[in-house]
């Protein structure tokens, strides 16, 4: 599977984020390394990323790495980011995810038909605050809209922004896509339209768009735009007192 250029590029991103020498093994399976500065997970957590038939895992300490290697030895690769499976083989105190990782190339991108008037917002994104408040904290956090570094592509109703998309520039020339629609305006295809504009902008800048999501609805939007789900990500906080 590593012959797939998009998969290879996605793997390169997460190998960079691991902040330690590690790579997805050509033979498959999981490779575990110690990396206190890992970008795969929150500080002091363990991060697991599966892409294709291989995984990389970062551990905050040597003890955690040993426990992860032992526990994962007999876990199928495609189950490494299944929270219920990991919780049966490791002393897990807290879990984030799993999230699906989707990517799209210029060749695979399927732009959305534009029915709404999409505008490019001014720098600073101050006008997004109302949209973020209307969506609620959980949806706002899931979208990552407040973290975008690109222009915001928005749809308005009167003076209000009711849908927006953009991206945050990540390492390895990656554009991490964010999309958010006001709750009472969902179901109109607005997320697909604004996301299409953000993805087109990223591809024009030679960036690799990444769509990381848990909700099925978000994954459907990504699929409609041509994103391929290549893997998954899970973060776990281990109970240090229970590590062997």
* Residue 125 and residue 163 in one domain: yes
Q: Tell whether 105 is covered by a domain.
A: no
* Residue 87 and residue 64 in one domain: yes
Query: Is the full-model pTM beyond 0.75?
Result: yes
Closest CA to 81 of 104, 44, 60, 52: 52
Q: Tell whether 112 is covered by a domain.
A: no
* Residue 130 and residue 203 in one domain: yes
- DSSP at 42: S
* Residue 159 and residue 236 in one domain: no
Q: Tell whether 187 is covered by a domain.
A: yes
Please report the pLDDT score of residue 124 as a whole number: 67
User: Cα separation of 47 and 32, whole Å?
Assistant: 10
Q: Tell whether 61 is covered by a domain.
A: yes
Tell how strand 153-157 and strand 29-34 pair up. unpaired
Please report the pLDDT score of residue 113 as a whole number: 85
Q: Tell whether 138 is covered by a domain.
A: yes
Please report the pLDDT score of residue 136 as a whole number: 75
Q: Where are the alpha helices (DSSP H) in 27-149?
A: 62-72, 83-89, 129-135, 137-143
Please report the pLDDT score of residue 1 as a whole number: 44
Please report the pLDDT score of residue 100 as a whole number: 97
* Residue 147 and residue 220 in one domain: yes
C-alpha gyration radius of the chain: 19
Q: What's the pLDDT tens digit per position in 74-93?
A: 899 999 999 999 999 999 99
* Residue 190 and residue 125 in one domain: yes
Q: Tell whether 114 is covered by a domain.
A: no
- CATH assignment of the domain containing 127: 3.40.630.30
Q: Tell whether 107 is covered by a domain.
A: no
* Residue 136 and residue 88 in one domain: no
Domains of the chain: total: 2
* Residue 123 and residue 218 in one domain: yes
* Residue 49 and residue 80 in one domain: yes
* Residue 191 and residue 131 in one domain: yes
Residue 212's domain comprises: 119-226
Reading the block at residue 102, the tokens are 């989707």
Q: Tell whether 89 is covered by a domain.
A: yes
Low pLDDT (below 70) residues in the chain: 1-2, 122-124, 244
* Residue 125 and residue 216 in one domain: yes
User: Angle CA(200)–CA(201)–CA(207) in degrees, nearest 5?
Assistant: 95
* Residue 20 and residue 93 in one domain: yes
Residues with Cβ within 8 Å of 3's Cβ and at least 6 positions away in sequence, in order, are none
Please report the pLDDT score of residue 241 as a whole number: 78
């Amino acid at each position: 599977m590593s012959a797939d250029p998009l998969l290879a590029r996605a793997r390169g991103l997460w190998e960079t984020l691991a902040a330690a020498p590690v790579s997805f093994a050509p033979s498959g399976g999981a490779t575990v390394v110690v990396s206190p500065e890992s970008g795969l997970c929150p500080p002091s957590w363990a991060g697991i990323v599966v892409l294709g038939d291989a995984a990389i895992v970062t551990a905050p300490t040597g003890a955690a790495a040993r426990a992860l290697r032992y526990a994962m030895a007999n876990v199928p690769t495609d189950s490494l980011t299944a929270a219920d499976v990991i919780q049966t083989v490791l002393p897990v105190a807290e879990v984030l995810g799993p999230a699906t990782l989707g990517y799209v190339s210029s060749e695979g991108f399927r732009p959305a038909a534009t029915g709404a008037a999409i505008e490019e917002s001014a720098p600073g994104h101050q006008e997004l605050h109302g949209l973020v408040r209307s969506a609620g904290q959980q949806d706002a956090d899931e979208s990552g809209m407040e973290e975008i570094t690109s222009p915001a592509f928005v749809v308005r109703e009167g003076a209000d922004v009711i849908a927006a998309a953009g991206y945050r520039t990540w390492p390895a020339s990656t554009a991490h896509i964010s999309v958010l629609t006001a709750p009472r305006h969902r179901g109109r295809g607005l997320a697909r339209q604004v996301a299409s504009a953000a993805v087109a902008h990223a591809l024009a800048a030679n960036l690799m768009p990444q769509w990381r999501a848990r909700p099925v609805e978000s994954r459907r939007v990504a699929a409609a735009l041509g994103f391929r789900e290549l893997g998954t990500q899970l973060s776990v906080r281990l109970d240090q007192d229970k590590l062997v």
